[in-house]
Amino acid sequence: EISGYVDIGMKGEALRLTRKLLQKRSILPDEFSEALRTIGVYASFKSFKKWKPKFEAAYERQSRQFKRKVRSDMLSMYVSLQEWKTALQFVSIQRPSSASDFLFGMDVLLELGKVEEAHELAMRCRKALRFVRSEFEQSLLSCALGQFFAHTHQWECALAAWQETRPDSSIARNVLSGIVEIHLARAFEAVEAGIRLLAERKERRGSDIDLCLPGLEFDLAVDAEKELLRLKRGIEKLLPEDARKDLGIPIQTDQRNSESTPSAEKHEPNPRL
């Protein structure tokens, strides 16, 4: 009945029935799932959090058998709320019951840094891909697999997995963004490598160029470094630290690059050259 109101856009009636359903002492797993989907359709992140206690109370009143059947629903709810530690209680690595179980489970494990468990889930995901026939399920599994590969810096594998996702699927936005982020990450690493190379050049002594024109090689290196730092700042705006961490890029803690910026701005020769 609730889904009927959702289908015809009667938000108020759908939410009223959902609230009434969650107050019942005993409900069916399918009713619980339908209620959660309804809130997922209509609620913002902020209002979803207000509904959470109602779902938790309804869940706690039910039998163990009921709780086993709605485990995936509870997982999806806590993932939607980004409550990763609570969501972990509902992750099944050994027996995922659906494609969404793989996807949400992978989200949780990677967010909590449980890479070994994520690897095990990824291997099961790869096996499951051989047997699913639904394009939607294939998309969810491919997305989960791609997330693992991206997080562990296996970017070619991530791109291959994500390219198996249908462009019109409900997760296409996340997948396409992930593909773009991998290319940005490659550019970021190329810039980092260039900055390291220039730092080595600035440390050299007595190159052929310096013998003819003292200080010229240093000046050229500084100019190139300034350009790379400009590009790096641009990439960092598009790919902030959290996103780089999700893609397996080590986060710099030595501040080497930030220390090199003043020398570029001063544009003075290194006295050791």
Nearest to 17 by CA among 33, 28, 1, 37: 1
CA dihedral 72, 109, 162, 130 (to 10 degrees): -60
- Within a domain: 155: no
Q: Which residue, of 69, 85, 119, is where some domain finishes?
A: 69
- Within a domain: 128: no
- Within a domain: 158: no
What predicted TM-score, i.e. pTM, was given to this entire model? 0.79
- Within a domain: 244: yes
96 by DSSP, 3-state: which? Answer: coil
**Per-residue model confidence (pLDDT) at position 202:** 72
Calculate Rg over the CA atoms of the chain: 26
- Within a domain: 260: yes
**pLDDT above 90 (res 101):** yes
Which tens digit of pLDDT belongs to each residue from 107-155?
999 999 999 999 999 999 999 999 998 888 999 999 999 999 999 999 9
- Within a domain: 219: yes
Determine the Cα–Cα distance for residues 180 and 189; give it in Å rounded to an integer.
14
- Within a domain: 21: yes
Which tens digit of pLDDT belongs to each residue from 149-162?
999 999 999 999 99
39 by DSSP, 3-state: which? Answer: helix
Q: Which residue, of 52, 69, 86, is where some domain finishes?
A: 69
- Percent of the chain exceeding pLDDT 90 equals 58
Which residue segment(s) compose the domain that 196 sits in?
A: 175-266
Q: Which residue, of 9, 41, 69, is where some domain finishes?
A: 69
Question: Per the structure, how many domains does the chain have?
Answer: 2
